[in-house]
Amino acid sequence: MLARREPWAKALTRKHLGEQMSIDAVEHTEWVDSGLANDLSRPFGHLYPRWQALRVQIGAGDAVHPFEITPRLTDRMPGIVRGYALVRSQRIVDAIPCEFVETQ
């Protein structure tokens, strides 16, 4: 479930969503090659457990959309947050942030 206590999550709405993506497309886009001998290469790198938690929630009729929001996280640190949202019955039920880009 989406923790709305996180500043970026409070700002996330459907207007921030891009076109629906398949699970395979998301995992291909977010593939992280660790380059390590023990082969920790996987989608979302160190965020993989969080991705797994979101992925197990996906059911028939659900959709995954990329998002990009520019919340005002603090008075001194505005930035862009990118990630993926799980949408069910036109509502955002969970999301995983993947990237934060400072804009100052």
- Per-residue pLDDT tens digits for 23-34: 999 999 998 886
Classify residue 1: in a domain, yes or no: no
Number of domains forming the structure of the chain: 1
Q: Are 68 and 16 in contact (CB under 8 A)?
A: yes
Whole-model pTM: value is 0.84
Classify residue 80: in a domain, yes or no: yes
Classify residue 43: in a domain, yes or no: yes
Tell me the residue range of the domain where 74 lies: 7-102
pLDDT in tens, 19-76: 999 999 999 999 888 666 555 678 988 889 999 999 999 999 999 999 998 766 545 4
Classify residue 81: in a domain, yes or no: yes
Tokens for 80, please give them: 């862009």
